């Protein structure tokens, strides 16, 4: 799931295009997390993973609302549909999902696309408030990624979830300490094109 | 954005802006070589140097057994995070250097002594993790707030945009792995952003 930003010709101002695309990606995340929450191995599985899925879904709904409020303020139409570029392929992969490790892998891919897109758009947006909003959201998606990467690392290694005691912290494998912080500079190569999610 | 988050976000940005204005009116301190956007860049370089120093202190505490028996995941985290912050400091200092300003090599921050005292006084993993989570969140929020006020679209904007999410990931990973609890909020916010007044250079 990769893409690259491009300055495609459009009637809409740049800020409207990037906000609509960001909202479309957030809508995709909401539908994906909704599907994930209903999967049998999630329903019957770890309470910790269920909590992350429910919490992340709520965050993405809040982000979609924030982007749609900003796009309305900028004079554009709100985007309530899921990103068309990824919607079908993600739905297909979710339908075939059989285990928590693969699921966290897919959800992490989604978080990465949104975070990279918001990071990239922060450098494109003209106003300071919009730049700040994009990085505010990008940072939260990056945090979701960090936790999903850690969960997957522990699942794949056969380790139990982190606990609250000092003994629990000492029991964590070294790999869990670095799984959630894979890069020094947040990438943008996987950002969506600016007009990918525009309202047509 | 929830009402609370939106208010906290606005308050943080406003606070940073007021800090800039007050600093510009101050005449008691010696003149700083950094003005405008470059003062924000210098603050960022100082914060990164501070993070490197703090993690080096944690590493020493871990190696010396001051925090109890070995914590392999924390040792690995500290090693990687130190490398990240070293790279971030170089990024911010490269912007200063390109603008023919002195690079920031130390930790000219008003809160540095208190932070280092907190780390050196910590005797358990939880206390250290709490201090480092605060440091990482503060850095991420500072860069997010700075994006509100930086002029134009230059290297400082790109640096803030690509470094803030990494600091946020550091904070999230520390919280999740070492306390077993996720503290990720719906928005990062800027309420804990470091004021430009904290820069003493």
Mean pLDDT for chain A?
A: 94
Contact predicate B39/B196, CB 8 Å: yes
Radius of gyration of chain A (CA): 17
Q: What is the pLDDT of residues A11-40, one digit of tens each?
A: 689 999 999 999 999 999 999 999 999 999
For the cut 70, the answer to whether the pLDDT of residue A6 exceeds it is no
Task: Judge: domain B3-198, CATH 1.20.1260.10.
Answer: yes
| Angstrom distance (rounded) from CA B176 to CA B129 | 11
Taking Cα atoms as reference points, which of B178, B138, B153 lies closest to residue B44?
B138
Instruction: Identify all chain B residues contacting A147, using CB atoms and an 8 Å cutoff.
Output: 172-173, 176, 182, 184
pLDDT at B151 (0 to 100): 86
pLDDT at B22 (0 to 100): 43
Instruction: Identify all chain A residues contacting B128, using CB atoms and an 8 Å cutoff.
Output: none
pTM over 0.95? The answer is no
CB contact under 8 A, A128 and B168: no
What is the mean pLDDT of the segment spanning A123-143? 95
pLDDT at B27 (0 to 100): 52
Q: What is the pLDDT of residues A76-95, one digit of tens each?
A: 999 999 999 999 999 999 99
| Angstrom distance (rounded) from CA B18 to CA B22 | 6
**pLDDT tens per residue across all 201 residues of chain B:** 444 444 444 444 444 444 444 444 445 667 899 999 999 999 999 999 999 999 999 999 999 999 999 999 999 999 999 999 999 999 999 999 999 999 999 999 999 999 999 999 999 999 999 999 999 999 999 999 999 999 867 999 999 999 999 999 999 999 999 998 898 999 999 999 999 999 999
CB contact under 8 A, B87 and A137: no
For the cut 50, the answer to whether the pLDDT of residue A57 exceeds it is yes
Please, what are the domains in chain A? 14-179 (1.20.1260.10)
CB contact under 8 A, A136 and B190: yes
Helix, strand, or coil (residue B141): helix
CA triplet A22, A28, A33: central angle to 5 degrees?
125
pLDDT at B159 (0 to 100): 97
CB contact under 8 A, A169 and B160: no
The conformation of residue A83, written as its DSSP 8-state character, comes to: P
Q: For a pLDDT cut of 70, what percent of chain A falls above it?
A: 94
For the cut 60, the answer to whether the pLDDT of residue A125 exceeds it is yes
pLDDT at B193 (0 to 100): 98
ipTM of the complex model? 0.94
Residue A107's pLDDT band (cuts 50, 70, 90): very high
Q: Closest-CA residue in chain B for A131? A: B147
CB-closest option in B91, B170, B179 to A164: B179
Q: Within its chain, how far is the Cα of A75 from the centroid?
A: 26
Min Cα distance A113 → chain B (Å) is: 13
For the cut 60, the answer to whether the pLDDT of residue A159 exceeds it is yes
């Amino acid at each position: 799931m990769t893409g690259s930003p491009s300055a495609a010709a459009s009637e809409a101002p740049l800020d409207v295009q990037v906000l609509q695309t960001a909202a479309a990606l957030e809508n995709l995340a909401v539908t994906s997390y909704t599907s994930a929450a209903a999967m049998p191995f999630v329903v019957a599985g770890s309470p910790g993973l269920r909590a992350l899925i429910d919490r992340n879904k709520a965050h993405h709904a809040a982000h979609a609302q924030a982007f749609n409020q900003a796009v309305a303020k900028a004079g554009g139409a709100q985007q309530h549909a899921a990103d068309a570029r990824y919607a079908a392929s993600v739905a297909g992969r979710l339908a075939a999902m059989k285990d928590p490790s693969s699921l966290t892998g897919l959800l992490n891919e989604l978080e990465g696309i949104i975070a990279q897109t918001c990071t990239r758009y922060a450098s494109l947006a003209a106003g300071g408030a919009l730049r700040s909003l994009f990085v505010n959201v990008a940072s939260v998606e990056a945090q979701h990624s960090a936790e999903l990467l850690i969960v997957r690392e522990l699942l794949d290694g056969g380790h139990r979830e982190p606990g609250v005691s000092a003994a629990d912290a000492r029991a964590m494998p070294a790999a869990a300490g670095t799984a959630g912080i894979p890069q020094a500079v947040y990438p943008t190569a996987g950002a969506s094109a600016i007009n990918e999610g525009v309202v047509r | 954005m929830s009402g609370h988050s939106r208010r906290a976000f606005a308050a943080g940005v406003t606070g940073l802006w007021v800090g800039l204005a007050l600093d510009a009116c101050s005449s008691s301190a010696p003149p700083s070589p950094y003005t405008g956007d470059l003062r924000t860049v210098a603050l960022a370089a100082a914060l990164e140097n501070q993070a490197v120093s703090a993690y080096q202190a944690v590493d020493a505490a871990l190696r010396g057994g001051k925090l109890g028996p070995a914590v392999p995941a924390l040792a690995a985290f500290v090693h990687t995070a130190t490398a990240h912050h070293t790279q971030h400091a170089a990024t911010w200092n490269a912007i200063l250097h390109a603008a023919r300003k002195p690079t920031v090599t130390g930790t000219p921050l008003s809160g540095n002594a208190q932070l280092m005292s907190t780390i050196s006084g910590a005797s358990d993993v939880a206390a250290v993790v709490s201090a480092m989570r605060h440091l990482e969140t503060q850095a991420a929020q500072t860069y997010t707030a700075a994006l509100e006020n930086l002029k134009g679209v230059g290297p400082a904007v790109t640096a803030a945009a690509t470094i803030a999410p990494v600091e946020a990931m550091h904070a999230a990973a520390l919280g999740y792995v070492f306390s077993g609890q996720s503290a990720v909020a719906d928005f990062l916010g800027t309420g804990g952003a470091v004021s430009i007044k904290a820069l003493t250079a």
